[in-house]
Amino acid sequence: MKKIIERSKPIVAQTVRLRRRLHKLMERTLLLATLAIAIGFALPLHADTRQLLFDENAIKDPGSLVVKLQDTRAPVSEFIASQLSEDMQWILLGYDGASEPTSQQQKVLLSDLNQLLQMGSLYDPQLFANIELSEQTQTLVTQNPQSGEALIRLNRSLLADVYPYELAALSEEQTDTDFEGIETCRENLRQIKMALDTYRSSNADAYPQWLSELAPQYMDEKVLCCPADPTAGSPGVLTEDASDPMLPCSYLYEIRPSEKDGQHMLQTQEGDMTPIVRCEHHRLNLSVGGKLYRNGPQRDIYNSNKIGFSVLADALRDLRKQHGEGLFKTQKGRENLKQAIEELVLKQFIPQLLNALENEVYTQLETQLGKGILESPMGMDIVRQAMPQVRHQIKEQVQSELETRLGAEFFQTEEGKDILQQLSVLMSSEGIN
């Protein structure tokens, strides 16, 4: 094992260097500004400037931050990770995503973050396009500082906006209640992951329908209750329409029967970062790959917004509160529901899911048949035959998921029929182009 690690070190180092070169090619700063920044590095920081840097307390959740930096499919995380030191690259390579980073790993992370604050502006309009910037950050972006205190303020504000649950903003006041019970919650989620793995090994790789099926054979039922849950796992707002039918459970199980198809589609985009269990009290997610990470803009990864059926479920919950029993019975309720489906599923989710699947088809073709295959007549013919099948499969899965969530009766109404018609047009060749 030691020999393998030693042999791979030059490869990792070369990868880091290549990443940095690529990003340097994309930098838009003038040579003069770069020189000014370099000179700034050589000067000692003023005492008041040092106070703007991160300290240990400002890294609120180091484990979650490392997980998000590992997931370089998120453009902004890919850029930030590429700027980190070789030591930090090794940490990203080896971190398991579930344990607490060691004190030494946290020191390296802290040092790298503070270097980032001083290295030049991190802002790029494309990288931060899907990040909701605070008013303070927007003001600093407009000022476009190139060095000094204002630059550090800008970069720290940008990082806090990208990772709001992991990094504290300068103006943020933290209290112990912000983290109350979170370590117990983390341990609960680790126990749930181990129980799920054991269950699947005994059940032909299938997931249980509900988390309660894991107790008591695979874990203690107490693990299902988050210490921050005042209801002790009783059904409530956070688990509306998702309550475990057998045992009190604080956690949202994303592979429950009504969610299974949608989660399989989401996994096509998010891979092993797809959440399978979520704690809404701590905004903490357990992913398919066993990683623990907090909510926030990192869920807007793969160049997408907060899309898909999980967001439709949130919209549906809000509409039910607004319309009550009249949601499906009144024209106004059905029209509001139709608008939500159009915006969240038809306009956002499907096009980006299709794009992800198309890219997967292209990647597989190039992997198996060579880089130039897509430009050849044979490659173009394969794509022409494959994509209609992909579109048909997405249409069937989306329609099934919508009918499961909303009921077949809705699709007998004018609003429901119109949604199905739009879905058919969208998934045709003409609708996609």
pLDDT at site 211? 94
Query: What single letter denotes the amino acid at residue 411?
Result: F
Spans of the chain, pLDDT less than 70: 1-48, 173-178, 234-241, 258-271, 296-314, 325, 356, 360, 364, 367-368, 429-433
Amino acid of residue 61? D
**Residue 40, CA distances (Å) to 33, 35, 36, 154, 361 in order:** 10, 9, 6, 16, 48
What token pair was written down for 56?
């240990």
Q: How far is the C-alpha of 313 from the C-alpha of 319, rounded, in Å?
A: 10
- The sheet carrying 252-253 orders its strands as 252-253, 275-279, 284-287, 292-294
What are the boundaries of each domain within the chain?
Answer: 2-173, 182-298, 312-432
Please tell me the distance from the alpha carbon of residue 349 to that of residue 342, in angstroms, as a whole number. 10
Nearest Cα residue to 143 out of 131, 130, 155, 132:
155
**Alpha carbon distances (Å) from 143 to 53, 122, 124, 137, 150:** 20, 14, 14, 10, 9
CB 227 within 8 A of CB 275: no
